[in-house]
Amino acid sequence: MDFDRAVAQLATLVETLERDGDERALELLELVDAIHRPALDLIARGELEHPIAQALLAMYDLRPMEDEVRVQAALDEVRPYIHSHGGEVELLGVEDGVVHLRLAGACVGCAGSAMTMQRGIEEALRAGYPAFRELVAHEPEPAQVVAPVVQIGKFRRPVFAEAGAAEDVAPGELRAVTVEDIGVLLANVEGEIYAFKNGCPVDGLPLEGGRLADAVLVCPWHNCAYDARSGKRVDDEAEPGLAVVPIAVEQGAVRVAVNAV
């Protein structure tokens, strides 16, 4: 039902109730007005955090997302990139725009990788959490002594090898390099360099002829689009994304860990 029709029907219904003298229905209208009027006044004045305004917004599922929900959603967007560095992130809390996190995993042992990953997290928070002011990274919890367990599979700690100079990859540019016989594509998004295996997930064709528009990398062969930071497919989330390569930038040199791909 459209808005104008609903207003007209409401006016007709109120007139009928007043004429028929239905006291319970009239009391219901008065209660609805008693709830809506002060809440709408607060909302009109921009006082959205007032409990009365929050109550009305919640009645219509319009209450803004809680800070921790927004932050967690932003972290989920960048989590594949974090995992590619052999790392993990835990949200400890959010207070007045300050996000407290704990980083863990292999990334903690490499200062360059940890710093690059932290910058990637900050970018995701700025995009997904408008109130973001600062990221505070807390030390990992001390390792606990546990009983031996059967190991399934083999953990591969990233081993970084030099892939060129950071200055060779200007902002907004793509650059293909070969490291240990593996093709790697470097992408500079607003001054931050990201690395992926140089092959379209569709059929493995190289991507260096593609275009980089803001943070979106477009394949030159199929026009499929990927997030140039996380590697996720952005035009069809059901399709596989790019293979993210752990990267660290130290003293102007780009280093990647192709053994972790």
> Could you give the residue range(s) of every CATH 2.102.10.10 domain in the chain?
161-260
Specify the range with the lowest mean pLDDT, choosing from 17-21, 227-231, 241-245.
17-21
- State the DSSP H helix or E strand holding residue 14, giving kind and residue range, or none if neither: helix 3-20
> Could you give the residue range(s) of every CATH 3.30.300.130 domain in the chain?
67-138
| Structural fold of domain 161-260 | Rieske Iron-sulfur Protein (2.102.10)
* Amino acid at site 76: D
Per-residue buried b or exposed e for 107-120, using 16+ beta carbons within 10 Å of the residue's own CB: bbebebbbebbbeb
pLDDT tens-digit map of 90-118: 999 888 889 999 888 755 556 666 777 78
In angstroms, the CA 117 to CA 243 distance is 16
138: β partners: 102
CATH superfamily for domain 67-138: Fe-S cluster assembly (FSCA) (3.30.300.130)
What local confidence, expressed as pLDDT, does residue 109 receive?
Answer: 57
pTM above 0.85, yes or no: no
pLDDT for 81 beyond 60: yes
Identify which has the larger pLDDT, 188 or 149.
188
What local confidence, expressed as pLDDT, does residue 152 receive?
Answer: 46
In angstroms, the CA 106 to CA 91 distance is 18
